[in-house]
Amino acid sequence: MSAAPLVGYSSSGSEDEAETGAGGCPRGQSPVPSQRLPVPDSVLHMFPGTEEAPEDDSAKHGGRVRTFPHERGNWATHVYTPYEAREDFLDLLDALLLHAQTYVPRLVRMEAFHLSLSQNVVLRHHWILPFVQALKDRMASCQRTFVGLEVTSGHTQFLDLVSEVDRVMEEFDLTTFYQDPSFHISLAWCVGDARLQLEGQCLRELQEIVDEFEDSEMLLRVHAEQVRCKSGNKFFSIPLK
């Protein structure tokens, strides 16, 4: 049996089904060819608030591609702890990036910095506020902590945060965080797999730059005062006590 192309339509209910037969024609009549008329621009622009799927043009995002395709009503969601970069941190980052680019020239500095507490998941729009409220309830007793680029102290406290986020994920039947996670702040990114170029000598040289940078130990500490949830273009802040 062949399948006909589907088109959007509005139906008033079962009465329409009772009066039509196969092919959508009134019973007792043979189907006749029909021509779809163009929709006037005045009608197309009657509903400016209607959500439209964004164009997935990776060239506009440095070659980055969506983790999952956009679907109407689905909101990409991520829970994290933000890091507000100071000028001396950016000076260190510039030195690191300049050196790393001698190995991987296409590396680009991150526009913002954070430590992830969840994977990227998809929420339906009507789940967003209940999801955020559940996060707030879970975070009510969590304490703030200090961490570095890669957490060497405070790891246990961040596992506690992830545990609370995971419980919320489970409530909404969403993917929980990674097993045995390594918490870190991403500094730069590039398209493609450049691990072979960066591992070994490059990472050792970058570590030397960090170790020799003035007051790097204090500079690379993060005072985590809040957890944030980003869902689509909406941001929610959850203070930590």
Residues 6+ apart with CB under 8 A from 103: 194, 197, 198, 202
Main-chain dihedrals φ then ψ at residue 239, nearest 5 degrees: -65, 145
CA distance linking residue 124 with residue 132, whole number of Å: 13
61 is catalytic: no
- Strand blocks (E) in the chain: 74-83, 108-109, 113-116, 121-124, 146-147, 188-189, 222-223, 226-231, 234-239
Q: Single out the catalytic residue among 99, 114, 125, 155.
A: 114
* Residue 184: active-site member: yes
Collapsing DSSP to helix, strand or coil, 175 comes out as coil
**Four-CA torsion 111, 114, 118, 124, nearest 10 degrees:** -50
Residue 100 near residue 107, CB atoms below 8 Å: yes
> 3-class SS at 26?
strand
CA angle (76 as vertex; 71, 81 as ends), nearest 5 = 175
Hey, which residues are catalytic here?
Answer: 114, 184
